[in-house]
Structure formats: structure tokens, C-alpha cells
Amino acid sequence: MGPWITLAGHLGAFIGQMTDEAVKAINILYDGQVSEMNLNALNCAVVAGIMKRANPDVNMVSAPVVAREKGIQISTTNQDKSGVFDGYVKVTVVTEKRERSIAGTVFSDGKPRFIQIKGINIEAEVGAHMLYTTNNDVPGIIGTLGQTLGANDVNIANFTLGRSTAKGEAIALLYIDGPLPEKALKDLRDTGLFKQVKELEFEVA
């Protein structure tokens, strides 16, 4: 259970940091082997991860209580293995403006991975400090990211890309060695190439 609890927390933390508006509902899908685990514990880890941004002191015990007090609807779905992974978890958050989803799994090495964001397939290791960007799929994005971060003395540990279709929506998720300087964020935004530039942090042992 340990790695899956960690994964659930990371999935919640990703969505929590990406979502600025009030959350109305949290939908959690459990696929394959994970659907037979202690889903209550996994639910609590997801909800705590989502709520930590607004409530840093929240934990797995208090998070469901706080969510109920805020009127957030929490639902779960279980299904048999449906893809290439033996099991995965997908979290979708609903707000007044949008739905946002992310999925992840635990590999045989025991490490959680993000495997889908916004319906776009990826395979990203989770680090303490990460950078998430969205853009149109055009040439030069990889070079711009590398050059801009290098100019700001930011070292990239892992670099993952995904896209919906050729020339369609694309995302990048970078695992970096330390906190991202504000200047690096500004420099990336100032290129005009990115729809979204977001620094993310995760509790990684």
C-alpha cells in the first residue's frame, strides 16, 4: 500500500496546485490491482493532497472532514484492468469553470509515475521540484525550455513530453534539482510560447 498511498498524495497535490478556483467534486477511478486495495486510505491521501495547498495543516484524517464541510462531493469508481498497466489511479476534479484530471501508477521499482495529464499520455517520475508547461505543438519548445532554465542555472533531472496530436496541445513536465527562480518563470512566460507555466512541489522521501 505504501507506494500507492504516496502516488495518491502526489496525484492530489498536482491537481491541488493547479486549481485556483473552488473545488465542487472529486472523482477517483481505481483500475486493476489497485481497485482491490484499501480504497478509503487511498481516497484520504488524494483528498489531503488536493487540499494541502489551501490548508497546509490538513492530513489524511482531517482532509475528508474538511472536504465535507466545504460541500465537496467525493465519488469513486472501481474497474477491472483495462490497459497496459496492472493498476492505476485517475483523479478528476470538477470546479465551476473546468474539469482537470491526472492519472498515475506505481512501477515495479516501487516509484510512483504520472502516466496521463489532461488526457495526454506521458511517463514522468515525480520529484520534489517540478515545472509544468502547456503549449501548442510547435518546433523549438524543447530548446527554449533547456536554454531558459540553463541561463537561470536550473539543472534538469528528468524531462517528459506529451501531446494530444501533431500540432495540437502539448505538455512538458520537468523534474528539476531545486526550487525554480522567479526570473526563470518570468523568462519562460515572456517567450510567448507557453499557455501555462507552473512550478510544482511534492513531498518526496
User: What was the pLDDT predicted at 14?
Assistant: 98
The CATH number of the domain where 136 resides is what?
A: 3.30.70.260
CA distances from 75 to 24, 27, 65 (A): 11, 5, 15
20 closest CA partner among 44, 59, 50, 49: 50
Q: CATH code at 22? A: 3.30.1330.90
Residues 94 and 135 in one domain: no
Question: Does 156 lie in the same domain as 96?
Answer: no
Residue 170: CB atoms within 10 A of its CB come to 21
Instruction: Answer whether 43's CB lies under 8 Å from 1's CB.
Output: no
- Looking at the domain assignment, is residue 124 inside a domain? no
- What pLDDT score does 83 carry? 84
pLDDT tens digits along 63-76 = 999 999 999 999 99
Q: Whole-model pTM?
A: 0.95
Full domain range(s) for residue 193: 129-201
Domain boundary among 117, 148, 170: 117
**Of the candidates 65, 67, 83, 63, the residue with the CA atom closest to the CA atom of residue 24:** 67
Distances, alpha carbon 36 to alpha carbons 3, 31, 191, in Å: 15, 9, 47
Helix (H, G, I), strand (E, B) or coil at 199: strand
- For residue 55, being part of any structural domain is answered with yes
| Model pLDDT for residues 123-166, shown as the tens digit of each residue | 999 999 999 999 999 999 999 999 999 999 999 999 999 999 99
Domain shared by 27 and 76, yes or no: yes
80 and 152 within one domain: no
Total tally of structural domains belonging to the chain: 2
Last residue of a domain, one of 117, 137, 162: 117
Task: Tell me: do 151 and 86 sit in the same domain.
Answer: no
Instruction: Tell me, yes or no, whether 163 lies in a domain.
Output: yes
Q: What is the pLDDT of residue 205?
A: 77
- The answer to whether position 68 is within a domain reads yes
Q: Report the candidate in 99, 75, 73, 95 with the shortest Cα–Cα distance to residue 22.
A: 95
Q: Residues 7, 88: one domain?
A: yes
Q: Which residue among 117, 137, 158 closes a domain?
A: 117
Residue spans of the chain under pLDDT 70 = none
pLDDT of 82? 87
Same-domain status, 109 and 17: yes
